[in-house]
Structure 1
């Protein structure tokens, strides 16, 4: 067998970069096309940059990049078949990115856009400084020269005006992109604090709102509510019906509580943050929602068969000055279970119980 001749020249930096890019593409089962090569080059050439950091987070634990990842991270859309994942059968669409992956991609795009904006401003500053030096030299020439120097200054001004126009166009484009990214970030931030089923705030949003209200020294009451016999609803009618029951309770609480924050705290449990409201008023508001739910008779959408009565129980407690959230929530939780022990379909507060 003929032997293969090896290049005797040393393995230089460009060779190492080329080999590293090849290894990157092979590890992620990406074809060697211009799109994927350019993306890999951006990641590897700037290992501490925002794009490389985002790729590291997405691929943590051995996860391979997909064409959707490359697109979300700001790369051009690859041609069909450019990315092949060993664990994914041929012909199957790329699975949708998770909210966490989408947020990481959005953060990376924002960081890159900010860097591009900074580069544009820096380039304008350098060109302006150069223009100033040249203009000063031209002014000196004018003092002891003829009209040739004036013509040179005019040409210099025209050149600078052209550069400024290009820079302004780049800044305008960057501003439009920054505004689009700002809207995406606001939407992503809102999604991160909202329960996808009910549309209510989630636990994280509730905790942030509590912290803000307590730092403002506003009067606070906290309520925890739990749907009575919810497991029986799921077991008998299925989780689709259970989800609709959750939406019914969410709607009733939102309607009754008005501007007060209603959150899905977990499972079939809801939390309400009453701000600027006395305990008696908070209890009356929650009891109004309880009565509204308990007074209706629900039917299955598919068969019109009766679902029966849906009720919830709740506990309401007033926040004391300097008290941490865990303490008032714990007290509301104990009141909630006291209401359930008293027969359910009831609201219990510090020293008082209301029952339907």
Structure 2
């Protein structure tokens, strides 16, 4: 048990070290001070390579530009675009609810007033009838007509607010879906994967989890650029989605994907991942522009089962350690417990 903990801790430390060194290299290359602001900015770029901010920076870097502190201050706002959009939708929702509450208060007040006036008119009508006075009906008609006009106005306002609320609900659903989906591949992102895992485990499920990593992906980006690298990510994402049909495939970030296989045992889980691995490795990848061969592409994966109620972080550590083993054993392979 202690040895396993040491291996997991060592692997996690290696990943953290790699990220730390990449951040340092970026800061050094662009002659930026290692300040908290600059560190956080570069950490966001490297941790979210498909974000609009990271893509903008990549385009600048590709043409030989060096980032300055002013650039970081100008670009830094891009990191919170999704948050600002979500905040705006929430504010609009709050305003819609306030308007709806106001309409309902008005309707309740008008209804209560109409009830009082109607009761008073009924009492007067009864008294006048006993006295032989016929004109009390005119007051009753006037009250009823005024109430009907108020009701029609309220219905018009309510219809408008309801229509706007329906449109806003659709926008909120789209924003929620965007927040849970990887924009490049269209796959669910890490947040969506974590939520799905929690729901499945809470219902008593014990899925099998695979962590996949594209082999030598940095070489693809270095040789052909990020545009081709993006195409590779989308192609492999599509193959994983097809070969793992019926299971949840998500992009965790960078060149790493995760698969949650439910209602299967170890044998079926391994067969699924082997089928996907072979499908990726057997394809002939070429550049769209000149039909030049891109070279062989493959991925390695670590596959592990879960225990009842086990936290995803623990499962991920095991699968990640198995993935690391697959890389050390030559890549383009699936390793399981």
Q: TM-score range by the shorter chain?
A: 0.7 to 0.9
| Gapped regions of structure 1 (runs ≥ 5) | 1-86, 88-94, 351-356
CA distance in 2, matches of 1:316, 1:178: 45
| Counterparts of 1:262 and 1:192, CA distance in 2 | 16
Q: How does 1:111-130 map to 2 (within 5 A)?
A: 111-130=94-113
Counterparts of 1:1-356 in structure 2, within 5 Å, are: 98-145=81-128, 146-350=133-337
What TM-score comes out, normalization by structure 2 length? 0.74
Separation of aligned partners in 1, 2:302 and 2:183: 25
Q: Secondary structure at the match of 1:147?
A: coil
Q: Quote the Cα distance in structure 2 between the aligned partners of 1:152 and 1:279.
A: 82
How far 1:98 sits from its partner (Å)? 2.1
Q: Please state how far the C-alpha of 1:137 moved relative to its aligned partner.
A: 0.8
Distance 1:344 1:167 in 2: 68
Which deviations, in whole Å up to 9, do the C-alpha atoms of 1:86-112 show, x marking residues without a partner? Answer: x9xxxxxxx9x9222211111111110
Tell me by how many angstroms 1:286 deviates: 1.1
The alpha-carbon deviation at position 219 of structure 1 amounts to 2.7
Structure 1 stretches of 4+ with a deviation exceeding 3 A read none
Q: TM-score with structure 1 length normalisation?
A: 0.70
Q: CA deviation at 1:322?
A: 2.5
- For residues 287-320 of structure 1, what are the alpha-carbon distances to aligned partners after superposition, in whole Å with 9 as ceiling and x for unaligned? 1010001001111111211111100000110001
- Post-superposition Cα deviations, 1:240-270, rounded to whole Å, max 9, x if no partner, equal 1111110111001000111211111011000
Q: Which consecutive unaligned segments of at least 5 residues does structure 2 have? A: 1-69, 71-77
Q: CA deviation at 1:283?
A: 1.3
Which has the larger helix fraction? Answer: 2
In structure 1, distance between residues paired with 2:246 and 2:84:
33
Contact 2:202 2:309 (8 Å CA) reproduced: no
User: What is the number of residues matched between the two proteins?
Assistant: 257
